[in-house]
Chain A
Amino acid sequence: MKLTLAWMVWTVPTAIFCITIILTVIAMTIWQTVSPSMERRGFLPIPTTPGDRFFIGVLTSVYIFFAWIGLTQFALWILLLIVVCWIVVVMIWG
């Protein structure tokens, strides 16, 4: 029995992606513990906490990603820019 991570076939981009998500979740948990925030209404149709907004932002970003890949041939760095902007917008005004 050998416990290596080889079977998960990590690559640099996916590792960066997963670590970013995990670190963000940890950071948001700490932020929430230090200064608890309340639910509020933004432009989204439901009252949300920062955690909810982060989830909504990431989930919609994945859909944007699929649409981008499936429908267009544009470069991916443009997409990355759009997605980051979108998540920030949702986090602040959502």
Chain B
Amino acid sequence: MKGKKKIVGLVIYFILLVIPIYWMLNMSLRSNADILASFALYPKDITFMNYMKIFTDSSWYMGYVNAMIYVVMNTLISLTVALPAAYAFSRYQFVGDKQMFFWLLTNRMAPAAVFALPFFQLYSTIGLLDTHIAVALAHCLFNVPLAVWILEGFMSGVPREIDETAFIDGYGFPRFFITIFIPLIRAGVGVTAFFCFMFSWVELLLARTLTVTEAKPISAIMTRTISATGLDYGLLAAAGILTIVPGAMVIWFVRNHMAKGFALGRV
């Protein structure tokens, strides 16, 4: 009896969770004229017109390409610099380690709005405005601290005897780190990459501020469309559905490690 109540509650929650997404999917499969003309719980004449428009119009599909480029760049940069640093935090005691860790954490918490204005000036001065690397670097502000934080948790779970044995066996630090240590925390690296990907993918403000046309991500294109007159809901919904796809794919790959990542409580 009690178990049943739980399941019913959970099912209701899942339905509430999915309905808004379903509604957008519904809209994306109807033409704009149809949406405004009649109210329907499911699309009666399914049309892929909206999706076709996005895939054929370069001002739309380049938005996805641009976003993917800077997200991948950011994930790679974050992981590369965060791996050694996380090792240092998990293994060594050094002057200012706690202060350094706290300072990193404050950047995870800092409001992007505070940095948007000087970032704009900074990147236009060094001539990187409207490039992918500018957004990738700007997102490092919160993703690098996050990566250090998550990785440090995974690394602290590896017993230090392994390091000691390897050093006694004559491994140098770089060789030990790359061939032994990183494979040991594979899952942790995967989870970290997942979160870096996620936070860079969902961020709007910095990405919008630092791009004009060449590197404009899909999120900025969508926001511009919303404020434009003569809103095309079908098209907007289709664009929205397509922004969910990469995330849904990534989540499927890390589903088994996800619980561990959350268990550390370091999102």
A interface, CB within 8 angstroms of B = 1-4, 7-8, 29, 32-33, 36, 49, 51-52, 55
Contacts and interface: CB of A to CB of B under 8 A. Distances in A.
24 contacts: A1-B126, A1-B127, A2-B125, A3-B125, A3-B126, A4-B125, A7-B121, A7-B122, A7-B124, A7-B125, A8-B121, A29-B95, A29-B96, A32-B95, A32-B96, A33-B95, A36-B95, A49-B98, A51-B96, A51-B98, A51-B99, A52-B98, A52-B99, A55-B99
Contacts of A33: 95
Interface residues of B, number: 10
Nearest to B124: A7
Contacts, number: 24
Contacts of B122: 7
Contacts of B121: 7-8
Interface string B80-114: 00000000000000011011000000000000000
Nearest to B96: A29
A-B pairs, 3 with minimum CB distance = A1-B127, A7-B125, A51-B99
Contacts of A32: 95-96
A90 B98 CA distance: 19
Nearest to A9: B121
B243 to A, nearest CB: 33
A33 B95 CA distance: 6
Nearest to B99: A51
B196 to A, nearest CB: 28
Contacts of A55: 99
Interface string B115-159: 000000110111100000000000000000000000000000000
A34 to B, nearest CB: 10
A8 B126 CA distance: 12
B103 to A, nearest CB: 9
A2 to B, nearest CB: 8
A10 to B, nearest CB: 13
Contacts of A3: 125-126
Contacts of B95: 29, 32-33, 36
A36 B94 CA distance: 10
Interface string B17-59: 0000000000000000000000000000000000000000000
Contacts of B127: 1
Nearest to A36: B95
Nearest to A31: B95
A32 B98 CA distance: 13
Nearest to B102: A55
A94 B127 CA distance: 46
Interface in B197-240: none
Given A4-B125, A29-B95, A29-B96, 18 more contacts: A1-B126, A1-B127, A2-B125, A3-B125, A3-B126, A7-B121, A7-B122, A7-B124, A7-B125, A8-B121, A32-B95, A33-B95, A36-B95, A49-B98, A51-B96, A51-B98, A51-B99, A52-B98
